Structure 1
């Protein structure tokens, strides 16, 4: 392995910039999706309020901004010095030195980065997000989720929210809020599939064709029985159990005011 590593060119400055930009683009995409998930923006606003109250450090919540307009495209001159190929021995020594240097934790890195932030600028950015969030909630209440007004308001909110660089632990907490719900929905769906296919004897192809968009439709199986298919007797025995699972999924819809299809769309972003 080390012999192979010794023959690989190290990244140039241009390569490092390209990778860094891709990482930041990934972070922006994730946070853009976060803005659409009920509760996540409010969670960050509440955490920032604790910063303003002196109960948290700024670096515990926000460590910077990811402004696309501030990222300059990499410019590399033709005569730019390329990093040399490192021989095996020197590569091993370099790796050992790097291991000794990598003692700084993510929290320390976040704190160092946030230390250079202008608190007033952060306050302005957060208040802008707070106003956009209020507008989005009002559009949701007046016009409903999925309406043009609501979609436009949430798009504007997401475009600003995704530019916040959150503390690593804070970002993980927000992601957990989303995935806990999504994972439970998937769990209920898998249980429904096992009941309907294994015990109810519905052909897998028919399940895949009819179940999507009927995740919370408690009349779904009853409607399937109307045609008196050959598996009707076995399917009738699982209807009540399936309805219980469907209602659990509906509970998530009610709590989030978001349909299952929308949850999955956000989770895929």
Structure 2
């Protein structure tokens, strides 16, 4: 068995333990790391990976009310463990060779391939794939597409510029400008006395927004006639997402759109954590029982009643029934406010997070590859003036 496979197996065990108890301690993580990894930054990177899987890492075992609700699909554990094992293998080869942070950094950067034009295109397209995945999920959130259509109506009335709401399109076949081309274009615009109109083609925009509005109307009719969860409505929403995901929005428009579903999820999570604190800490309900029974019953006011028959903790839950149902009613208010069930809110956010994570990883690769290119050029000029690093 290779070292990477061994590490992956150990990490899977660690992740399984974290999922089961809802947290890990630093000592537990440390016990599963290779002995020659001691650099704090390397350890912190690995802990961040674990946090990204939805597992909190604490100094000491926490109280029940400190734990967060378990989140995410367990099917992702194998993928996450493989990625973490690969990262461990990469950092392990660098550990112990030197304590000079500059040399360690230079050696780490040396493992990054030089950025070529082809590589730049591949990474840029991966970034766009992640954003498209996020946008397709966002189209399922009530009001998101309608907001963009309303913004475009202002453009049509000449009350707003097209460049204020979008910067282009996320088409897979569209050529990706190189960093040099972007820099030269920016320099040309800076030298020009006139304000450059760098917005999308208005003719193409009109065609795309017309198609988006047509599909939006069809989707709304299907939801009104058959219900949001009907096959017809789901099919139309998927079509809407396929159109919406190619719009590259400006940060001014994009950020509030994505913040809304995230804020709703945060509101749900706040109530879930409080309910969990009452059930687990105050009523001594086993955490495993809570997660098994509460998931899918977040807005079900009969959830407590069904559990009061339990011999061990049922009577304690009955005493807290009013408090738990008060918190559940707040969750119901979130559902009514959004027009979505808790499971739908979580699913939209999950898909958005997956797309965002994919784009973020690709952006990180792009930054590292660009920096590697800068270092490779700078090395040619060492000892010819000021020292490099």
Report the TM-score range of the alignment, normalised by the length of the smaller protein.
0.7 to 0.9
1:212 maps onto 2:292 in alignment: no
* Residue 78 (structure 1) aligns with: none
**Alpha-carbon distance, 1:257 to partner:** 2.2
* Residue 170 (structure 1) aligns with: 253
Paired with 2:229 and 2:261, the residues of 1 have a C-alpha distance of 19
TM-score of the superposition, structure 2-length normalised?
Answer: 0.56
Matches within 5 A, 1:72-221: 115-221=198-304
Counterpart of 2:319 (choices 227, 230, 237) is 237
Post-superposition CA distance 1:218-267 (Å, at most 9, x none): 01011111x24222232122111111111111112122222111111111
Paired with 1:68 and 1:121, the residues of 2 have a C-alpha distance of 16
Say whether the 8 Å CA contact 2:162–2:200 is kept in structure 1: no
**Alpha-carbon distance, 1:143 to partner:** 0.6
Counterpart of 1:47 (choices 141, 151, 158) is 151
**Equivalenced residues, count:** 233
Unaligned runs of 5+ in 2: 1-100, 352-389
1:35 maps onto 2:139 in alignment: yes
Secondary structure of the corresponding residue to residue 63 of structure 1: strand
Paired with 2:337 and 2:221, the residues of 1 have a C-alpha distance of 17
Pair 1:191–1:18, CA change in 2 (3 A): same
Paired with 2:143 and 2:197, the residues of 1 have a C-alpha distance of 24
**Alpha-carbon distance, 1:116 to partner:** 5.0
Secondary structure of the corresponding residue to residue 165 of structure 1: strand
Matches within 5 A, 1:48-63: 48-63=152-167
* Residue 342 (structure 2) aligns with: 260
**Alpha-carbon distance, 1:9 to partner:** 5.0
249-258 or 162-171: bigger deviation: 249-258
Counterpart of 2:330 (choices 248, 253, 261) is 248
Say whether the 8 Å CA contact 2:226–2:233 is kept in structure 1: yes
Question: Which structure ranks higher in relative contact order (CA pairs < 8 Å, sequence separation ≥ 6)?
Answer: 1
**Alpha-carbon distance, 1:114 to partner:** 6.8
Pair 1:113–1:214, CA change in 2 (3 A): farther
Paired with 1:219 and 1:231, the residues of 2 have a C-alpha distance of 16
Say whether the 8 Å CA contact 1:129–1:161 is kept in structure 2: yes
Say whether the 8 Å CA contact 2:125–2:172 is kept in structure 1: no
Say whether the 8 Å CA contact 1:221–1:239 is kept in structure 2: yes
* Residue 378 (structure 2) aligns with: none
63-72 or 173-182: bigger deviation: 63-72
Q: CA RMSD in A?
A: 2.4
**Alpha-carbon distance, 1:68 to partner:** 2.3
Say whether the 8 Å CA contact 1:36–1:154 is kept in structure 2: yes
Secondary structure of the corresponding residue to residue 269 of structure 2: helix
Pair 1:147–1:71, CA change in 2 (3 A): farther
